[in-house]
Each structure stands twice: as C-alpha cells, then as structure tokens.
Amino acid sequence: MEKIKKSILLLFLVFLGCSKSSVENPDKTPKAVDKTANLLGTGQSARDLLSNDKFSKLKIEIGYVDGFRPTQEAIGAFVDFLNQRTFKESIEVVYNRLESPGEESLTVDKISDLEEDNRTIYNEGDTMAVFIYFSDAPAEGDDEDEGLVTLGAVYRNTSMIIHEVTVRKLAGQSIFISNAQVELATLNHEFGHLFGLVNLGTDPINDHEDVERDTNGDPVIDGDGNTTGNSHCSVDGCLMRAQLQFGGPSSKAASLLEKSGNSLDVACALSGQSVLKMLEHQASKGISAPPGLDSECLLDLASQGGR
C-alpha cells in the first residue's frame, strides 16, 4: 500500500512538472528583425559580399510575381558568377512567389515598398541576405516606341529589381537571344554594382570610371568645367561598360536614376537596347554568355576581398 501511495505521489509530481513547464513558457514574442544592415546605400556592403571575413554564407531571396519566375538556366549561371567572384562557402537561392501588385509601372519608391511588404530574409549570423524582385511591370519612364526600356536596377546595398516583363519583351525581339541570356546579363551587371563597381563603394585601384554623358554621347560639363563619374567602366568589352546604362539625365527613361522621395539613389538603370546589342554582338562571335569583368574591375574586387 505504501508503495502504491509513493507511486501515485511520484506521478503527480511528474505531472505537475510537465504542466509547469508548458504553462510557464518564457516570452513568446517573435524576435525583432534588425534590418538596418540591409538598408544601406548601393555598394556599401561590397566587402561583406565578396569576402569571408564577416559572412561565410550568402542567401538570395528571389521574390517573383506569379508567372514571372526567372529561368533556372539564368539563376544557375548567376550563382556560378558569384562563386567565381566571392569567397562565400555556400550560396543559397530561395524563391518567394508573390501576387501581382497590379501596377502599370513602377517607381523606385514603389519598388522599395514592395520589398518592405514581401522580403522575408535579412542578414543573420554568418549569413548575408540579398533580395531580388522580379516584376510584372516596367519601370516608370520607359518608352518602348523609342526603345528606351529599363531591364533592372539596384537601389540599396542588398536590393535589386529585375523588370522581368521587359526582359521577356526584349528577348522576343531577337531570334538569337533567349530570356535566360537577358536575365543573366542584367543580374551579373547589377550585382557588379552591389560589389561596389565602379567607384560605387569600391575605390578603383586605377582610374577606369567613365563620365556622365548627354544623349549625344558627349561628356556633361558642370559650371566649373568638371565632369562627373557615372559608376560604370570605361574599358571596352567589360560587363560594367558605361554604354550599357542610359546616356544622360535628359533621357526619358533615365527618370529612375533620379533620387526618390525616400532619398533612395538608383546608381544604374540598365538599358534594354544596349544589352540587346551587346548580346547580339556576343552571339555573332558564337558566344551565348554576357561579357565578363575586365582586369581593372577584377583588380578592384580583389582589393575588397574578392577573387
């Protein structure tokens, strides 16, 4: 009888302990996400992206409007490009299918709002996070009749927009060019800016930055007779070549380059027609891939801890 009493008492204590641990759950409030490290200017995280000093892993979130997911071919080649240029131990790509925002065109402020609403990953531990939004709407200011269209742009240190609807329309203009080729050229070029190229957070070892030009291709001269760099390379054949962006501030499609109401600074609005000509030139030589980075850009990346 005494043994039965002790057994009942023991079971009661065990039950009490279990009940106590389940009821006394410490603070269940979700941990606040610190986004500050992902809200910096374009190029300001170049070393973190390239080197293994602080972040050994890179995680890329691709938020895409349903029906506008990028090709696996382009994403695979894009990851290869990042592996060639960085010392990251692992690069992971995750997909986030999104509903259409129902916009006819997108301003940089609207793009920023869409990121705020849909981005799910930020820097955490030894993992650095990048968000790339593939949209179903073109950039505000595009003029298809004049061939002035924007393929993509970067507007923060880990934020990028690819106008997938425009990518597909552009690729459809040439029997020699595929969606994957245009996607890859845009991704690689814009990520070059996240790496701080050219003179956009990564100081050039040697001067190879081109200057702002007007619609005639002539250098823009300020009141003091000086030119201004345009964050693109002056070396022919380079992935970051200045000719791949819009010419000057008077271009209709260059409106995206202007500062937004939230002081977001778009360093590059990649020109559709320029990219198409570049890819067709590559195709004429039997090359399907976009150009790589020239020796000057590679030297700059190496100075920031890249390969």
Summarize pLDDT for 126-163 with one digit per residue, the tens.
999 999 999 999 999 888 877 788 999 999 999 999 99
Let me know the angle formed at the C-alpha of 148 by 113 and 298, rounded to the nearest 5 degrees.
75
Asked whether the beta carbons of 241 and 233 are under 8 A apart, the reply is yes
Please provide residue 62's backbone torsions phi and psi, each rounded to the nearest 5 degrees. Answer: -105, 105
Query: 27: how many CB neighbours lie within 10 A of its CB?
Result: 6
Residue partners of 258: CB distance under 8 A and separation at least 6:
249, 266
- Secondary structure of residue 180 in the 3-state scheme: helix
**Which residue segments constitute the domains of the chain, with CATH numbers given?**
35-303 (3.40.390.10)
Please provide residue 138's backbone torsions phi and psi, each rounded to the nearest 5 degrees. Answer: -75, 175
Q: Which pLDDT tens digit goes with each residue over 16-57?
A: 444 443 344 445 555 678 899 999 999 999 999 999 999 999
pTM greater than 0.95 (yes/no): no
Query: 253: how many CB neighbours lie within 10 A of its CB?
Result: 24
